[in-house]
Amino acid sequence: MISTMHETRNDINHRIRTSMVELLNQQLADAFDLYSQTKQSHWNVKGMHFMQLHLLFDELAEGLTVQIDDIAERATALGGTAQGTARMAAEHSRLPAYPEHITSGVEVVAVLAERYAQYGATTRAAIDNALEHEDQSTADLFIEISRKVDKALWFLEAHLQ
């Protein structure tokens, strides 16, 4: 995923900024895909716990919009171009596609729990990557996101235990 870089007075080395923008755009694709899968779940879940899950999925999706915005803004703050369209996300996301046939609450929760776990893992890897590049601000952003993703995963897994 190649991003156009723009002039900036940011004192982080250009090579590091370029690497971080690439990392941020990868996480942006995953986050945007996770958002769309969470909304798909919100719209289509069925069963005895419909209302509870419908509201939970909407709350989780809303939290992802904040993360998406923060990731994209960090990429642009580093002089990069955020790669944030639905088509870009679909092309670059590392998450498995959402299974179209599921609607049962338990099945939907299980699929989302798996996706949130995967996103949490890539977020923690992004923290390590940012720290290796000595970009504490990007690492801090991913640390904050990691805490939120872990909490969301906890909410999902509580329905499966």
CATH (one of 1.20.1260.10, 1.10.3720.10, 3.40.50.2300, 1.10.150.300) for 14-158: 1.20.1260.10
Q: How far apart are CA 11 and CA 36, in angstroms?
A: 35
Model pLDDT, residue 2: 62
DSSP 46: B
Helix (H, G, I), strand (E, B) or coil at 104: strand
Per-residue pLDDT of the chain (161 residues; tens, 9 = 90+): 666 767 777 777 889 999 999 999 999 999 999 999 999 999 999 999 999 999 999 999 999 999 999 999 999 999 999 999 999 999 999 999 999 999 999 999 999 999 999 999 999 999 999 999 999 999 999 999 999 999 999 999 999 99
Can you give the pLDDT at residue 3?
Answer: 64
Contacts of 41 (CB under 8 A, 6+ apart): 53, 57, 98, 108, 111, 112
94, 98, 80: which is closest to 27 by C-alpha? 94
Quote the pLDDT of residue 83: 94
- What does the pLDDT read at residue 6? 73
Give, in order, the Cα–Cα distances in Å from 118 to each of 34, 79, 124. Answer: 10, 28, 10
Q: Where are the domains of the chain?
A: 14-158
